[in-house]
Structures are given as C-alpha cells and as structure tokens.
Structure 1
Amino acid sequence: MTDPTAGFGERAVALAGEHDRTDLAAFLTRAVRLDEAAVVRLRRRGDGVLAAWIQTGFEVLAARIVRGTVHPADLCVAADSLRAALTASVGTANAIDPGWAMDSAWRGALPPDEGFVHVDDVPARVLVELAQQGVALTRDAGAQGPPASLLAQEVLEVSAGETAGGHETTVGVPMRMVFALGAMGFVPTTGRDTMVADGIAADEVVRVRTSNIWLRLDARFGSVYLRKSGGLGLSVI
C-alpha cells in the first residue's frame, strides 16, 4: 500500500477520512483548552492507525486513536498548529504539514500498546459524578485549581474478583484521572458539558485496565493513563 505521506516533506499527517479529521480536531481543541501551549505527540502504529497523545496537566496522559499515518513515525508538534492545519484542510483528502517538530518539548515515556489486564467496567456516570463533586469541593474552597491532596486522593476502588490462583486484583483510581477523563470529553453525553452526569446513558461504561507500571481508563472517545510509579500511592493487590 502506498504511503499517503510519501514525498510530502519532512513531516506529514494523513488521515483516512473526514470522521478521523473531526475526531483529531476535537481532541486537539480539548488539549488547547487545558494548555494553550500544549504539545501533541503523534505515533504511528502497525495496524493502520495513529495515536495522538497529550499531557493533560494532571500528571495524566490522554490518548485518542484515529485511522491514518504520520511521517516520521513518532513526532511531536504544537497542538494549536496541527488543529489549524486540520481546519484549513477540511473537505480534502491530502496529507497535511503538522507544523514544526517539537520533540524536545515532550518529557517522559509513553505507555505500551499491550500488556494491560482488564480489571472491571465502571458506569461512566459514577466517574462524572465524582468529577462534579471534586469541582464543587475546589470551588467551595475558593481555590484556583484542584489542590494536590485532592488530585492524589483515590476516589474509587475497582476489583476484578478472584483469579484462578485465588488472588484479587484491586486498583485505586485517583481524582486526577477522573478530572482528566472529564476535561478531555472522552465520555459521550447528550449535553454540551461532559461534567453533567444526567446526559450520560446508564449503560455507558469506562473500562479500567492495569499493568505493572500504568493504570488506564478507556472511555468511548479516548483513554487516560497514569504512571503508578509516580509516588501517588497506587498499588495492585
């Protein structure tokens, strides 16, 4: 199969369709709302898709998968520049120039694509309600943003039940992951505000997965990841 980015230049992004272009643009819009100077990392995967990553500011990574490719295979660019290029290319199938490379601006490693164990599924409404409570606490305290103690607090415990060896896998989900999931708009809702639980279907779930190093929440529109070795007290029992 011909690489749609071939011959375009040193840097290029090609998306499979308009839906993928819209998805990536929405992801970048959320990223820029969190940080006007956000950097997005684009990484080509071997199954015909690319992953877009951003650092949310909650010490949590957020990722969105779209159909497409990127050249080079691992590239960091300014989120606002890529969003502008996507907007300017609406209605075309051409590869786009994502902007200047900013690889030096990315700090830290990415989670692996595989190696995660499914713990359990949690109703999305539960997580959004927790986020609402956290926002209310922050507002009542008159703080400019969530305090570090609240971000680190484990607000949900999820268990997988006993395995064949008789061991139970249990993980604690901290508020920082709940905030990041809501801020990125990864849970579908009928309203404009993803922090409103009433607009979320009762059967909509968020999948909790874990590895030795990472904790992961998968929602319909994207995933958030937390490195468990970051001193936040997370553990797998």
Structure 2
Amino acid sequence: MHERVLTVPEEAERKNLAGFIGHALRLDESAVIRMRRRGDAHLSVWASTGFDALATRTVAGTINPDDTSAAGDQLLSAVEQATGELIDPGFAMDSAWRGALPPMDGFEHLDDVPARVLIELAQRGNALALEHGSSHGPPASLLDQDVLEVSGPSGTVGISMRVIFALTAMGFVPHAGSEAMTADIDLEQIDASELVRVRASRSWVRLDARFGSIYRHRGGSIPLMVAR
C-alpha cells in the first residue's frame, strides 16, 4: 500500500470526485486539489476557482495523510482509471497550495436564495463581461461588485459576482438535461424550489448548493497564511 493513499470505496463517489476535479481543471488546467479528512468516513476536496473563491465538495472516503494536495490532472486520471477503492493520488503538491482554508464551523445561516436568482445574476454578469471584458477576461470592477445582499440576525453580507461565477462554473446547481451548467442555461431547467444556502462568519461568506460549496474571504482575496 502506498504511504499516500486515497480511499474511495463506492464507484458513484469516485465519479462524484472526478466531476469536481474536472470542473476545477476547466477553470485552471494546472489546478491543485487539496484533500482533507472529515470525520471517520468522509473527506473534503478543495480547489481554487480563479475568482478569488474556493470550491469544495464532500466525498465518502478517506485520505492519508489527513491533509494533502495533489496535481488535479494526475489525480483525475488516477480516479477515472481506478478499478477499486485504493487510489494513488500521485506526488505531493502541498507547497503549491496557496492560501488558508476556512474553518469548519462558526458560520451563521443567513438565508436561502432560489438557485434561479443566482444563475440569472450569472447570466447578466456574463453579458456584461462579454460587452466590457478583454482578452484578460471580465473587468475586475464587475467581478468585485456585490450583486446581492443577504441579511440575517447579525447583519448583512454582500455576494460578489466572483462568488456567483464560481458557483456556476463549478456546476454546483442541479438542472434538467445532460449538458454542462453554463451561464446561459435556460432557467426553466432549474427547479424553482432549488435553494442555495447563504452562511457567513466574521471572515468568510459561504454559499452551499446541492453539489458543493463556494467560500470567499470577506476581506477580498484569500489569506496567504496556510492553516492545517
């Protein structure tokens, strides 16, 4: 057995993991995937989205060491080719991970937002990006703009276009049909009752959708201090 080993017993969970890594690689072909044990039978997988926001999904399985990073392309190949539960994640890429992970707890539930509202905002933002963007992508002024405010007992937080774009790009909102989630998807393909939960702590804002979560540091960019 390899010293570094990823264990994912169920084939469905291996497909779940592969889907997450695939979305991350479409955003960044050199994406680094961080895996951290979560309890006795689950692990959380993390990726940077390129929007100054982190994406995460929980998978049934374990990782040894308890917190390790791997190259996304190598990890995806290993997961897709796996015929059993034991997977070699490849060379350690811990030094390539930039930024701290958010804490596991300390988040207050503010409100639930219809997924259609968020995808519609992504569509509007995409149209503006096409109109005002350049070869370098959407203008920072558009990405940094708060396009939604969500209030709870302890206050109000703004949701920036960066978070909306990250949620859409990672395909975290379920929809009818077999095509990949894009910003121009027909809103009718998203169930009107599908909700995205908004939570916040003093330092982070968090959107929890059915297929994963997006985190963004409330100070803007992700802090560089690495917390393990």
Fold match (TM-score > 0.5)? yes
For the pair 1:174 / 2:165, whether they are aligned, the reply is no
For the pair 1:67 / 2:67, whether they are aligned, the reply is no
For the pair 1:79 / 2:72, whether they are aligned, the reply is yes
- Candidates 41, 48, 65, aligned match of 1:48: 41
Query: Residues 114 and 87 (structure 1 numbering): CA distance in 2 closer, same or farther, change over 3 Å?
Result: same
For the pair 1:184 / 2:173, whether they are aligned, the reply is no
Contact 2:9–2:85 (Cα < 8 Å) also in 1: no
- Candidates 13, 24, 41, aligned match of 2:17: 24
Counterpart of 1:31 in structure 2: which amino acid?
A
Partner SS, residue 201 of structure 1:
coil
Q: How far apart, in 2, do the equivalents of 1:56 and 1:99 lie?
A: 21
- Return the structure number with greater relative CO, CA threshold 8 A, min gap 6: 2
Q: How far apart, in 2, do the equivalents of 1:80 and 1:198 lie?
A: 34
Aligned residues: 217
Report the RMSD for the aligned CA atoms in angstroms.
1.4
Q: How far apart, in 2, do the equivalents of 1:142 and 1:212 lie?
A: 32
TM-score (norm 1): 0.88
For the pair 1:115 / 2:106, whether they are aligned, the reply is yes
TM-score (norm 2): 0.91
1:73-101: CA deviation from partner (whole Å, max 9, x where unpaired): 11110011111001111xx3331101110
Q: How far did 1:224 drift?
A: 0.4
Q: How far apart, in 1, do the equivalents of 2:102 and 2:221 lie?
A: 17
Counterpart of 2:10 in structure 1: which amino acid?
G
Q: How far apart, in 2, do the equivalents of 1:189 and 1:61 lie?
A: 22
The runs of 4+ residues in structure 1 deviating greater than 4 Å are: none
Partner SS, residue 76 of structure 1:
strand
Q: How far apart, in 2, do the equivalents of 1:153 and 1:39 lie?
A: 27
Q: How far apart, in 2, do the equivalents of 1:142 and 1:28 lie?
A: 27
Contact 2:108–2:200 (Cα < 8 Å) also in 1: yes
Counterpart of 1:78 in structure 2: which amino acid?
A
Partner SS, residue 22 of structure 1:
helix
1:115-140: CA deviation from partner (whole Å, max 9, x where unpaired): 11000000000000000111111112
Counterpart of 1:189 in structure 2: which amino acid?
H
Aligned to 1:202: 192
Q: How far apart, in 2, do the equivalents of 1:231 and 1:188 lie?
A: 28
1:12-56: CA deviation from partner (whole Å, max 9, x where unpaired): 100131111011000000011001000000001124200000011
Aligned to 2:225: none
Contact 2:10–2:85 (Cα < 8 Å) also in 1: no
Query: Residues 231 and 21 (structure 1 numbering): CA distance in 2 closer, same or farther, change over 3 Å?
Result: closer
Q: How far apart, in 1, do the equivalents of 2:40 and 2:117 lie?
A: 33
Q: How far apart, in 2, do the equivalents of 1:220 and 1:75 lie?
A: 25
Q: How far did 1:112 drift?
A: 1.1
Q: Unpaired runs of 5+ in structure 2?
A: 223-228
Identical aligned residues as a percent = 55
Q: Unpaired runs of 5+ in structure 1?
A: 1-7, 233-237
